[in-house]
Structure 1
């Protein structure tokens, strides 16, 4: 989800590999290493010239102090290594670095049943839920992926987990009220968005063998359940909430509406509807979440940090030319210092 800046040319590198995890942006610059054998030959030639000169002086009866032992080659060897490393830096090496970062998944499960058209929360429960969802999306860090589930009598994933905020907001804007309410299907739809496949309720007799595979553990995920809590099914959300809890998914229920309620018209019939907080509180307690009542979008300010982000690592390419050049400079300084201390000159 993150883009490494300051790497112009890296995306277009030729892909010639060096050692494991390292590639070269300009591999043709390796031709500069042909200079190294020439430097080695020049150094050996200089040693032979010094030897001849020392013999000539000795033949004339002059005594000259001569550095002996392999230690006299340490300084020049470091200088030669520094030049080699500096030439390697011209290839603009790129190393794959594992960077820790925090990520998570939030599912916005929005109740789109008929009762969400009630206006005891202005302009309506559903419009308040959509405003709250937009505010929630805006406050999530970039490392959090967001999915959208619309649920009434069934749960439908309208947007799979993504870091594309525009796609999430578009999915929220398309929500319209219709049908009954099943909190269990809202939770199961959220779990399906997280695991990437439909999730059946525990004990469903219609499950096939493929559905009996455990959905696994999904720490760092949460379902924000935006609903008025009125469940029109017989089973209730308890079993679905327990399944979410076993999978490490926290559910953060948000109640939209008022206990006094309102009256809505459905197919010519007037139906009374009110906020039912009991089931929502039980869902929160089962999964370790927190129930909140939303009288307006501003009251959801604390929901955005409900997800416990988990630490993961991501391999990111970084150009390390400056690091290689700095290492070459240290070798150059060390070699020059040793040479001056032993011989009174750099070379």
Structure 2
């Protein structure tokens, strides 16, 4: 097998016993034939010995079993493909002032944080989780890591305030995945176009590569307070292989919040979030309360992949030797009435 290594290679010396046994077996056959010839001369047995190759099958299987047992003494290590869940998930929290609304109890942001804690607890160590906070700008508060305590601490620190820019939230999520800041796409015909439509000339100044098996969970009410929408940023995520899974927090009917003494209406904007999901291959879902939001997290798929891990395969060889031994003994008993 390719890539196999031996923990105790010096144990291969034990294989020298195999040719010795082969020679002994052949000598035994010749001695047996001489005895048969002598007995045949006295008329005690028939003169024709069994010349079929099948007579060697039982001993050959027993010898193969011994060979495999001796090989197992080297404690071989072989690469084994293991399926596991792997990838990066960035939890991008909208922390604008509207996330303090209570049409989702106890509030939109607190419900999102509670479900995020449940989601983090369920993920295997192979899934790295990052945290992004976005309002008028986007900020990576925790780079993707397998340190669950660090992720939970980053989630706990989130507080609502300010405006909302979905574009900055997506770009910050991409930056967390890529490991460096990601700038808004540039429209080669009309100049910088952060978050503007999907124009054919929209490009990224610095290539960010392809990042399959990654997802940005966009937790927001979808109310974008900037002039430009998030379609160009979503297109950039799609070209990088990053799915965006928008989760709508709030209700379409909406509610009101108090901002600096003013009463401001706020409602869930689903169309913009549905467009982002469609553009990146994600799925938009609405979460009307903490329980349904937890169910949304459960529905998010993280990529199943295989990785090659070195494993000692001594037990596999022992099992193979046992099968060969059983086969050899069975054949010998059926043909000769004895094992050897």
TM-score (ref. length: structure 2): 0.77
2:185–2:192 contact (8 Å) kept in structure 1: no
**Structure 2 gap ranges (5+):** 194-202
For residues 160-171 of structure 1, what are the structure 2 equivalents within 5 Å?
A: 160-171=143-154
Deviation at residue 69 of structure 1 after TM alignment: 3.1
Q: Name the SS of the counterpart of 1:108 in structure 2.
A: strand
Give unmatched runs, 5+ long, in structure 1.
Answer: 1-18
1:30-41 → structure 2 map (5 Å cutoff): 30-41=12-23
Contact 1:104 1:307 in 2 (8 A): no
Does residue 89 (structure 1) correspond to residue 83 (structure 2)? The answer is: no
What is the aligned partner in structure 1 of residue 35 from structure 2? 53
Aligned length: 324
CA contact (8 A) 1:281 1:291 kept: yes
Give the Cα separation in 1 of the matches to 2:239 and 2:186. 15
With 41-50 and 167-176 compared, the bigger mean Cα shift is at: 41-50
Seen in structure 2, the aligned counterparts of structure 1 residues 73 and 122 have a Cα distance that, compared at 3 Å, is: closer
Matched residues in 2 for 1:294 and 1:54: separation? 89
**Cα shift readout 1:130-180 (whole Å, capped 9, x = no counterpart):** 223223323446654322111122222222333433332122122234543
Q: 1:298 aligns with which of 288, 291, 294?
A: 291
CA deviations over 1:281-330 (Å, ceiling 9, x no partner): 44345445454454532230331244344442211344433432232233
Alignment of 1:234 onto 2:216: no
SS at match of 1:346: coil
Aligned-residue offset at 1:186? 0.1
Task: Report the counterpart of residue 261 of structure 1 in structure 2.
Answer: 256
Question: 1:120–1:262: 8 Å Cα contact kept in structure 2?
Answer: no
* Structure 1 residues 44 and 245: alpha-carbon distance in aligned structure 2, compared to 1, 3 A threshold: closer
1:137 lines up with 2:154 in the alignment: no
Out of 265, 275, 280, the residue aligned to residue 273 of structure 2 is 280
Q: What displacement does 1:194 show?
A: 3.0
- 2:138 is aligned with 1:155: yes
Note closer, same or farther for the CA distance 1:67–1:101 as it changes in structure 2 (3 Å cut).
farther
CA contact (8 A) 2:172 2:182 kept: yes
Q: Tell me which residue corresponds to 2:49.
A: 67
Q: Mean alpha-carbon deviation: is it higher for 119-128 or for 146-155?
A: 119-128
Q: Distance in 2 between matches of 1:210 and 1:294?
A: 33
SS state at 2:205 partner: helix
Q: Residues 246, 253 of structure 1: CA spacing in aligned structure 2 closer, same or farther, 3 A cutoff?
A: farther
Backbone CA RMSD of aligned residues = 3.5
1:193-217 deviation digits (Å, cap 9, x = unpaired): 233433222216579x983426436
Deviation for aligned residue 1:261: 1.6
Q: Secondary structure at the match of 2:186?
A: coil
- 1:172 corresponds to which residue? 155
Match of 2:199 in 1: none
Q: Distance in 1 between matches of 2:333 and 2:109?
A: 80
Please state if 1:191 is matched with 2:186.
no
> Partners in 2 of 1:24 and 1:86 — Cα distance?
14
> Cα distance 1:98–1:212, how it changes in 2: closer, same or farther (>3 A)?
same
Q: Once the 2 structures are TM-superposed, how far is the Cα of residue 123 of structure 1 from its aligned partner?
A: 4.7
CA deviation string 1:215-237 (max 9, x = no partner): 4363x443222224333322232
| CA 1:322–1:215: 2 relative to 1, 3 Å | closer
